[in-house]
Amino acid sequence: MSVDVVVPTIGRPSLATLLSTLATCDGPLPDHVIVVDDRRDFARPLLADGVPARLASRVSVLRGRAAGPAAARNVGWRASNADLIAFVDDDVVPDGDWLARLADDIAAMSDDVAGSQGRLRVPLPADRRPTDWERNVAGLESAQWATADMVYRRATLGGVGGFDERFPRAYREDADLALRVLATGARLVRGRRTVTHPVRPADRWISVRLQAGNADDAVMRARHGRAWRVRAGVPRGRRSRHLVVTAAAALALAALLARRPRLAAMSAAAWLAGTTELAWARIAPGPRTRDEVVSMLLTSAVIPAAATLHWAAGWLRLAMPRRNARTRPHAVLLDRDGTLVVDVPYNGDPSRVVAMPGARQAVQRLRAAGIALAVVSNQSGVARGLATEGDVSAVNRRIEAELGPLGPWFVCPHGPDDGCGCRKPAPGMVLAAARALGVRPADCVLIGDTGADVEAAHAAGARAVLVPNAVTRSEEIARAPEVAADLPAAVARLLGDDR
């Protein structure tokens, strides 16, 4: 089975270490290593020293949307055609036999196993007790289904829609995906491969910033119910205590403003007691250095309110209706003849393939924007006996040689009178492409040159952009809600720069 490795990155220097380690690992190399550049600023090179020679032909860099690890991983796996996707983080270091053990773990996956988790090792200081931050990172060693090293079948990802991009931070997006996969009846297992996850430096306020994850917990509770922590193997946490301590602080402030000193003093005492208990719970197992104690005292005074406010904000966002403003699509489905290449009726000859003007640059822009691609094409020449399915496949391969990878191909070989559900204007191929890419049809746009393309998209609940050519009928153009002059103009429209 084919295997691609997907690495989301925010440009950490450790990315170079990861790639150089992969290049020297024992075992078969992955078919591709897809690096998703999820930085907001692309001013400096991502890999200043280049890619290790052994991986040079296998590494591709895609641009993410700077929307967090869930969105970045979706960009990566949707760009892959491999049977299995191995997700690794950019700050892990694989063992020297990682690729060999990855191959063994994959070979051991039975048909009912959808994914295999690697083992994480977090090195802690040997000469002192770990700090609060170091203990936090060390929790990854026992985390279930962490995508710091996790293999999934691509078909499984497509079946559940991939990672939920409502999780903009790390930690909960992988638990959510695992629970949705397990709900299908599939199994997840632990493999034997191991990566090391070093503890990177952090300032004293890191624990306060991490409280933003409480907003993600609200999404988990809404989606998976009250028992989601037990099912996902996530520790219970201190939310109830944080709520009580925050309420005490709020009551103390309100009583002070209302000039009720006794109530203010009692509430302040309750807040102080709760804060002291939290601080000591974090100080006691640590090194108890002066800097660590100061950090624990300062952050413990803030954490309960920060956690409670983020939790409330998470529920508020869930309750708010989604904006109707049109955003970039998650996937673009492309018609073949007359859209990507010059229309040669019933073409079965690869030598007659001619790309439409600007097509190569247009699809390059879509790939660079991290948008998943697929092709949906009627090929009734097969039913008419004018071409074989092998001829059509040969033409398709030539098109990809001209334009680059276009994602999965969906071809209907039936004639107009066969009554199939895949031939456009029926929605079958659009729905199948959406499933394969792990997106909702509503998050897809179909670009084509006929009214049948537009009708197929709308029948599936997708958006359509018509790119007319000499054979497009005037009534089709008049009926189309969106029309662009050509493929580059359609792509510019989708990327928001059609000015």
Choosing from 335, 391, 449, 453, the catalytic residue is 335
Write the burial class of residue 412 (CB in 10 Å: 0-12 exposed, 13-18 middle, 19+ buried).
buried
Tell me if residue 164 is catalytic: no
The answer to whether the beta carbons of residues 250 and 242 sit under 8 Å apart is no
Name residues whose C-beta falls within 8 Å of residue 382's C-beta, 6 or more positions apart in sequence: 388, 389, 392, 413, 414
Taking CA atoms, 453 is separated from 430, 446, 489, 495, in Å, by: 10, 7, 17, 20
Cβ–Cβ under 8 Å, residues 283 and 296: yes
| 26 included as an active-site residue | no
Distance between CA atoms of residues 399 and 344, nearest Å: 13
Residue type, position 424, single letter: K
Catalytic residue among 4, 91, 176, 337: 337
Strands lying side by side in the sheet with 187-196: 59-63, 32-37, 3-9, 84-88, 149-153, 113-121, 187-196, 93-94
**Residue 32 in tokens:** 């591709």
Q: Cα separation of 68 and 87, whole Å?
A: 15
Tokens 């247009």 identify what position?
A: 362
Q: Where are the alpha helices (DSSP H) in 261-354?
A: 261-283, 290-319
Q: Return the active site residues.
A: 335, 337
